[in-house]
Structure 1
Amino acid sequence: MAFFFSKNKGLPLKTEPPFLLVGLGNPGPEYTETRHNVGFQVVDTILKEGFPDCPFSGFKKNFKGLSSEGTFQNQKIFLLKPLTYMNLSGDSVGAMMRFYKVILDNILVIHDDLDLPLGSLRLKKGGGNGGHNGLKSTTEHIGNDYWRLRIGIGHPGIREQVTPYVLSPFTKNEAILVSALCERISEFLPLFLEGKKDIFLQTLQESLKPYQS
């Protein structure tokens, strides 16, 4: 628990530790619609859609990224898109985590995953980085014990094609699925914030089945 003091009465106000929702990606218009930036796309959708009774502020530049904030059930929620480029994402995540005293259990990093089929989702706490440089940098700065939402983008099948593949846009049909995925994540994230993590993932996966058939 953290305590803050009222400016009016000087009385301590007890608050829950905040949440930090991070989308990984690269800054710049040339990367906006690319597969590697699906984490950014999710955070953009959360900002646009909001949660029930939880509108988010517009993005502002700080902590080497773009951040926004809202309040859900009397708990502060922060959004973050690091502007450091993928390989240095941890610089931004670590700075914001330390400033707002966010605990690791309240951090969710949303990122692309080559090893999962397009639109597949996995939620886990801790574990390896799977060769993802954004995760590697984040772990170097804040430790390993944070939550990750892995979003499958598929694999080109040939190792030499990985870089151009992740830095290219989704196809028209893929973009339809990804747009639905971003909207559903935004819709069901309150379950994650309430501690119902298994229900969050199950509900999310069920809602996407019509788009994956």
Structure 2
Amino acid sequence: MNLKKSLRLFNLLMMKRSELLRDHISEFKSISDAMDKALKKKKTIQVAGGTTGAVGGVTAVVGLALAPVTFGASLIATAVGAGMVASAGGVSAHVAKTNKKIITRDGIERQINDYIDKVKDIEHCLNFILSAMNEMRRYDMARLQRAGAQPDSLKIAHLTHSVFNNMDNVRRNSVTQAGGMSSERLLQGFAKELDYYFKERDEPKLKKSRKSRFSGRVRLLAENLHDELNNLNHMWELFN
């Protein structure tokens, strides 16, 4: 009966939170995508700005060298050169401004905590269900029938055998032995790494030299969480 109640609770939690968890994962992915896009754009502009600045500088030097001969034309060349340098600097400044979509430590921690709050009850519930089912597998169906077990109990026992027959062996062992709280552990591990990527608490911006690594780490987290959510949905299907 306790197992039956747990199955109902798991079903209710998945109905309420499955899509919310998927939205959180999408948010993690969008953070990584935005960072990759900003880093790529910045790199492109730096290359373009450097080229433009070099061309502008050459134009200015040539203009000054020709000044005694063709005063008017050389001033135009000098002005064009200076303009190109200024425009390159302006573009770089503009990119720096657009990249100020700052990802803060507080925002990331909020995402982590929100996800844990939504997923931990589901994973703990699944852990209890699988542990109870693992215990029930010791009882033979025919023996339960002879002992006069209630129809509901027989139904749960039949479901237990069906679920374990359809579960992947590796996943089954890892869930029943490791506690079945994979997403929670993934997020807690990620939270411990934030000191490596962010500056001090009173300056919660990302360290410039580690932005690219952080983007990759967030993407990996999103992929792992996606796999765990798929597993929860797979178990939900098996239970139903």
- TM-score scaled to structure 1, two decimals? 0.22
**Structure (1/2) with the larger strand percentage:** 1
**Structure of higher RCO (CA pairs closer than 8 Å, 6+ residues apart):** 2
**TM-score after normalising by structure 2:** 0.20
Query: Which of these two proteins has the greater Rg computed from alpha carbons?
Result: 2
Specify which structure has the higher proportion of helix.
2
